[in-house]
Amino acid sequence: MAYILCIETSSDLCSVAIAENNTMVASKTVQDRNSHSSGLALYINEILEEAKLTINQVDAIAVSKGPGSFTGLRIGVSLAKGIAFALDLPLIAVSTMKSLTNQVIKANDHELYYCPIIDAKNGELYYAMYDKDYIPIHDVKVGLPEEVIWHGPIALNQVVFFGDGIEKIRDRINQAGGIIVENIKPEAKYMIPLASEKFNYKDFEDLQYFEPFYLKDFKARKSSEKLRRVLNR
């Protein structure tokens, strides 16, 4: 019997879950970007209480590694690493893209390809493509909307698109005959199968060196512009 605490903070959702042997015991999801720093630890305590567990009974910590919100990922990974270090627990990293895909694969039985899309801001999108066995057809990339719709020889009527980034290319997906699945958001409970598999294979991260998968550099434009004005005075 193994308990895994899952933490998902890659979007405006702050989400946590506890699994026992690949089965969800308790979960909580709050849609408030500001709750990542102030509420994450509280939500963990709430689901531990609901599951009638203490943090000392947890066997591993799983965290969504990205890509996604820079701030959200940093907060989630920092807390996950802190708990793992304090309690000498293994740390499991779960791809945000695969976690999103897990929701859609469970809902579809067809021989399709799955394209999660996350809004990367500044007019860009994070995207990837997997087959039904989570084998990547395209590795995770960041690009412009027109790049996402092109998948080479794969017909778009065989591709399922989902995630908060689809709004930027919805019309093109519809025109090309692609399949859209609505309201797919990263939640901790969908990390459970992927985290449990990694736990069974002892696929753990190095606590000292693990960092979120940001994929692109953080652009603090306002701060940079303000600094330039100060230096040029």
Q: Please check whether residue 230 lies inside any domain of the structure.
A: no
Could you tell me if 128 and 202 lie in one domain? Answer: no
User: Considering Cα of 150, then 155, then 156, then 161, what sign does the dihedral take?
Assistant: negative
Nearest in space to 127 (alpha carbons), one of 90, 91, 97: 97
Residue 188 has pLDDT above 70, yes or no: yes
Q: Up-side HSE of residue 96: CA atoms within 13 Å toward CB?
A: 35
What are the pLDDT digits (tens) for 154-174? 777 889 999 999 999 999 889
What pLDDT sits at residue 138?
Answer: 85
Could you tell me if 30 and 70 lie in one domain? Answer: yes
Compute the mean pLDDT over every residue in the chain, rounded to the nearest whole number.
88
Provide the domain count of the chain.
2
Q: Please check whether residue 229 lies inside any domain of the structure.
A: no
What pLDDT sits at residue 232?
Answer: 47
What pLDDT sits at residue 107?
Answer: 66
Could you tell me if 75 and 115 lie in one domain? Answer: no
Could you tell me if 85 and 41 lie in one domain? Answer: yes
Full residue range of the structural domain in which residue 132 is found: 109-180
Could you tell me if 172 and 217 lie in one domain? Answer: no
The residue with greater pLDDT, 114 or 35, is 114
What pLDDT sits at residue 136?
Answer: 92
Per DSSP bridges, beta strands 3-8 and 113-121 are unpaired
What share of the chain in percent tops pLDDT 70?
A: 88
CB environment 144-167: b (16+ within 10 A), e (fewer) = eeeebbebeeeebeebbbbbbbbe
Backbone angles phi, psi at 44, to 5 degrees: -65, -45
Contact 164, 126 (CB under 8 A): no
What are the pLDDT digits (tens) for 102-141? 999 866 666 789 999 999 988 999 999 998 888 998 889 9
What pLDDT sits at residue 108?
Answer: 65
What pLDDT sits at residue 158?
Answer: 87
Cα–Cα distance for residue pair 117/145, rounded to 1 Å? 10
Most confident of 21-25, 28-32, 121-125, 215-219: 21-25
What share of the chain in percent tops pLDDT 90?
A: 70
Could you tell me if 153 and 217 lie in one domain? Answer: no
**What value does the mean pLDDT take over residues 63-89?**
96
The residue with greater pLDDT, 227 or 51, is 51
Contact 212, 65 (CB under 8 A): yes
Provide the edge-to-edge strand list for the sheet that holds 124-130: 136-143, 124-130, 113-121, 159-162, 179-180
Backbone angles phi, psi at 61, to 5 degrees: -115, 130
What pLDDT sits at residue 101?
Answer: 95
Per DSSP bridges, beta strands 124-130 and 113-121 are antiparallel
What are the pLDDT digits (tens) for 196-222? 999 999 999 999 999 999 987 644 444
* Residues in a beta bridge with 93: 63
Could you tell me if 91 and 190 lie in one domain? Answer: yes
Residue 230 has pLDDT above 90, yes or no: no
What pLDDT sits at residue 1?
Answer: 74
Its pTM stands at: 0.89
